[in-house]
Structure 1
Amino acid sequence: MKYKNLEKAKAIIADNEGNNQLCLTFALEQEGWEVSQVQEGQETIEKVLEWRPDLLILDYHMLELTKVDISQLLPLHGIKPAVLLISSDSDLEKIASCFAIAYYLYKPFDIAEFLKTINSAYENYLNWRRYSQAVCQ
Structure 2
Amino acid sequence: MPDSIPKRIIIFDDDEDILSICSYILEEQGWQVHTFTDCNDIINKVNGIKPDVILMDNWIPDIGGIQATQMLKKNDELKNIPVIYFSANNDIQTLAGNAGADTFLAKPFDIDELEKVIKRVMTPHS
CA shift digits 1:95-131 (9 cap, x unpaired): 111222231111100011110111111113xx59xxx
Structure 2 partner of 1:70: 72
Structure 2 partner of 1:40: 38
Structure 1 partner of 2:88: 88
Tell me how far 1:55 sits from its aligned partner.
0.7
Tell me how far 1:43 sits from its aligned partner.
4.6
Distance 1:22 1:15, change over 3 A: same
Structure 2 partner of 1:9: 7
Query: Does structure 2 retain, via aligned residues, the 8 Å contact 1:87–1:106?
Result: yes
Query: Does structure 1 retain, via aligned residues, the 8 Å contact 2:84–2:101?
Result: yes
The number of residue pairs the alignment matches comes to: 120
Radius of gyration: which is bigger? 1
Structure 2 partner of 1:19: 17
Identity of aligned residues (%): 22
CA shift digits 1:66-112 (9 cap, x unpaired): 15412203x2xx12211111001111100111222231111100011
Give the TM-score of the pair, scaled to structure 2.
0.85
Q: Which runs of 5 or more residues in structure 1 are unaligned? A: 129-137
Query: If each structure's helix is expressed as a fraction of its own residues, which one has the higher value?
Result: 1
Give the TM-score of the pair, scaled to structure 1.
0.79
Structure 2 partner of 1:123: 123
